[in-house]
Chains A and B, each alone.
Chain A
Amino acid sequence: MSERFTAVPGRRVVSRTSAEELGNLSHVVVDVKRRQVASLVLGKGRKALLIDWDQVSGFGPDAVMVAHDTALHPAGDDREHAAADGKLDLTGKRALSDMGNDLGTITDVVFDPDTGAIESLVIGDLEQPAASLLAVGSFAVILRAPAE
């Protein structure tokens, strides 16, 4: 069953070892080159914490399970800070083709909760395969131009 980015915010994050609730998801960070979920963000702003995808042991419909409480870490580099602030979110971002034409606004992202692989990008009524994703910047998401 595929998951969607818009269904993720607010989902509980629970430690598998302590059964403690660690927080709620706010953002999903994407590794553009691998077209894969890179990490998940808990909370917002300066207090935000990140979990790398490989520390997620189960991405379920009711909770996201992580192996250890220690898997959470604060934002390190500039990119992680930008991600924690939601600046690199794909949803709500302008989609621009590599030919310089607006495609619309990204309304959702479909991914596989087992592997974290991005499957497709939803732009209104359009669904573009993840393979067309070229870059995510603060100005726009760049997609390889759909065949006309």
Chain B
Amino acid sequence: MRLLVTGSAIRGLPVVTIADGEDVAEVRDLIYSPEAGRVVGLTLNKRGFLSGRRREVLPAETIHAIGRNAVMVDDETSLIHPHDAPADVAAPPSGRDVTGNEVLTEGGESLGQVKDVVVLVGSNGEVVGYEIETASGKPGYIPLPAQLAVSGTALVVPESTKDFVKDDLVGLGAAVDEFRSRLGIR
């Protein structure tokens, strides 16, 4: 059983330092790498009302944990200027956004369109699945293999993904490990 959270639930979370219990920023957006199958960093807003964007970014390597209620970092030095960040965090290649992409199985069946990423709670940005909108318009959740083909308009998933389309995050949390073991991952 894994605890999962969608990307939209991570946006707006406070970024809190473990060293001194202060909220130093809040999550503006996720920088997602479909090739890596993970969140490589976060862009940030200042805390509070009417507060604007913060220039600094938070690379995934410096995230202690993404939790249900906060993103934890060791201290404020984890927030770095984009200039000092890894290239894929500082300037993510365009066409990275998988939202709206069609999900196709290897057998050529369309499962729906990607709405959001699903992140493992307690990780520093591990993406274990996608929230999709199925052809019937209903939301669904699919697990991801470690590697998959992404074109910018569609992504190809193993045929067995069909058996693991879930109605909610709890269902997906329970299915992730079985899905991965069937594919021989970990």
Q: Is the CB of B21 within 8 A of A141?
A: yes
* B111 within 8 A of partner (CB): no
Interface of B is mostly: loop
Stretch at the interface among B11-19, B149-157, B163-171: B11-19
Please state if A134 and B18 are interface contacts (CB–CB under 8 Å). yes
Contact yes or no, B22 A98, CB < 8 A: no
Are A139 and B23 also in contact (CB < 8 A) when A99-B65, A100-B71 are? yes
Mask of B63-100 contacts with A, CB within 8 angstroms, 1/0: 01111111110000000000000000000000000000
Q: With A and B bound together, what is the CA distance between A138 and B19 in angstroms?
A: 12
Q: What is the CA–CA distance of A135 and B73 in the complex, to the nearest angstrom?
A: 13
* Pair A138/B21 contact, Cβ less than 8 Å: yes
Nearest Cβ in chain B — how far from A105, in angstroms? 13
Q: Would you give the shortest CB distance from B1 to chain A, in whole angstroms?
A: 10
- Summed over the interface, the residue pairs from A and B with CB atoms below 8 Å come to a total of 68
A101: shortest Cβ distance to chain B, in Å?
5
Q: How many residues from A make CB contacts under 8 Å with B?
A: 16
Q: Is the CB of A100 within 8 A of B21?
A: no
- On whether the beta carbons of B16 and A139 are closer than 8 Å, the reply is yes
Task: Give the complex CA separation of A96 and B17 in angstroms.
Answer: 11
- The answer to whether residues A137 and B22 also contact, given A96-B16, A99-B122 and a CB cut-off of 8 A, is yes
Return the CB mask of A115-136 against B: 1 if under 8 Å, else 0.
0000000000000000000111
In the complex, which residue of chain A has the Cβ closest to the Cβ of B64?
Answer: A98
Distance in angstroms from A92 CB to nearest chain B CB is 14
Of chain A, the residue at the smallest CB distance from B15 is A100
Chain A residues whose CB sits within 8 angstroms of the CB of B122 once the complex forms: 99-100
The reply to whether A136 and B21 contact each other, CB–CB distance below 8 Å, is yes
Q: Which residues of B contact A138 (CB under 8 A)?
A: 21-22
Interchain CB contact under 8 A, B18 and A98: yes
Other-chain residue from A98, A135, A140 in contact with B65 (beta carbon distance below 8 A): A98
Do B18 and A142 have beta carbons less than 8 Å apart? yes
B68 touches A102 (CB 8 A): yes
Chain B nearest CB: distance from A17 CB in Å?
38
Interface status of A97 (Cβ within 8 A of chain B): yes
Min Cβ gap B17→A in Å is 7
Q: Tell me which of B14, B20, B23, B67 contacts A101 (CB under 8 A).
A: B67
Contacts of B18 in A (CB 8 A): 98, 134-135, 142
A interface residues, Cβ below 8 angstroms from B = 96-102, 134-142
- Name B residues whose Cβ lies closer than 8 Å to a Cβ of A: 13-14, 16-23, 64-72, 121-122
Known: A99-B121, A100-B65. 17 other contacts (CB 8 A): A96-B21, A98-B65, A99-B67, A99-B122, A100-B66, A100-B68, A101-B67, A102-B70, A134-B19, A134-B21, A135-B19, A135-B21, A137-B17, A137-B22, A139-B23, A142-B16, A142-B18
9 contacts between A and B (CB under 8 A): A96-B70, A101-B67, A135-B18, A137-B16, A137-B21, A139-B16, A140-B16, A140-B23, A140-B70
